[in-house]
Amino acid sequence: MDALSLGLAVVIGLLFVKEAGLPVPVPGDLLVIGLGVGAAQGRFDPLVAIVAVVLASILGGSIQFLLVRGPGRRLLIGLLRRFGVPEERVERQAERLRRGGVGAVAIARMTPGLRIVAIAAAGLAAIPFVRFVAGLSAGNTVFAGGHFALGLAFGSAAATIAAGLVVPILVLVALLVAGFVGWRWIAGRVARRKAAPSGLGETADWTDACCPACLVLGAAVTR
């Protein structure tokens, strides 16, 4: 396996374990954008990369769902309480998913911030597995596809400006900084509106909302 193939495999592996529920301190959207940048520069086949991303996210998400719906349910609720997340907050999202079915799961997985708790909430809601996978597949395909396309666009522009990895790295760093600043701004708005517990902005998390498009959507759900 050459270095490029190994790099692709590492990123796909990180996305898989992240979707499976393990805490990976790397923004998933930036990983996908980075793959798009690499594909734009001809480092690997874009079709192979995006298919691998979507499949990894579906498989990982399915594992997390089954664990939460089964043996991990009590453990998850206990951890949420320990970290100050009330069960009522998760239950509100779970109820939305019960009512909305496939469409609700898909939309939740497309929405920055909200997508972080969507899989666990679907597991706690005990949504039928087939419906969950259908919604997960649709939502992940749109979310990952959009970020991959963003990476392709940035990568194409970078290739015309400079060679090598300098510009793509600067782009990713800039997105990371913008994501952190935007997350702080969104978190501040949520804190000021703490009296409105139904706000979806409670789930905003910079680790999955670091690109400009995500920040816009994340800000919108705090209104």
Sign of CA dihedral 68, 74, 78, 84: positive
Whether 168 is covered by a domain: the verdict is no
Long-range contacts of 204-208 (CB under 8 A, 24+ apart): 204/112, 204/113, 205/113, 205/116, 206/27, 206/179, 206/180, 206/182, 207/25, 207/26, 207/27, 207/28, 207/116, 208/27, 208/28, 208/29, 208/112, 208/113, 208/115, 208/116
Task: Report the chain's C-alpha Rg in angstroms.
Answer: 18
pLDDT in tens, 183-211: 566 556 655 555 444 444 444 454 555 55
pLDDT value, residue 198: 42
For residue 71, give the amino acid letter.
P
- Would you say 12 and 146 are in contact if contact means Cβ atoms under 8 Å apart? no
Whether 53 is covered by a domain: the verdict is yes
Whether 89 is covered by a domain: the verdict is yes
Whether 92 is covered by a domain: the verdict is yes
Whether 183 is covered by a domain: the verdict is no
pLDDT value, residue 171: 65
Whether 215 is covered by a domain: the verdict is no
Q: 30-34, 84-88, 190-194, 211-215: which has the highest mean pLDDT?
A: 30-34
Cα–Cα nearest to 154, from 9, 39, 50, 19: 39
Enter the DSSP assignment of 25: S
Cα–Cα nearest to 153, from 177, 136, 175, 137: 175
Task: For 193, list phi and psi in degrees, rounded to 5.
Answer: -110, 35
pLDDT in tens, 4-29: 677 788 889 999 999 988 877 777 88
- Full residue range of the structural domain in which residue 141 is found: 3-162
pLDDT in tens, 156-170: 665 555 445 555 666
Is pLDDT at 91 greater than 80 in this prediction? Answer: no
Total count of domains within the chain: 1
Whether 206 is covered by a domain: the verdict is no
Enter the DSSP assignment of 200: G
Whether 100 is covered by a domain: the verdict is yes
Q: Which residue has the higher pLDDT, 46 or 199?
A: 46
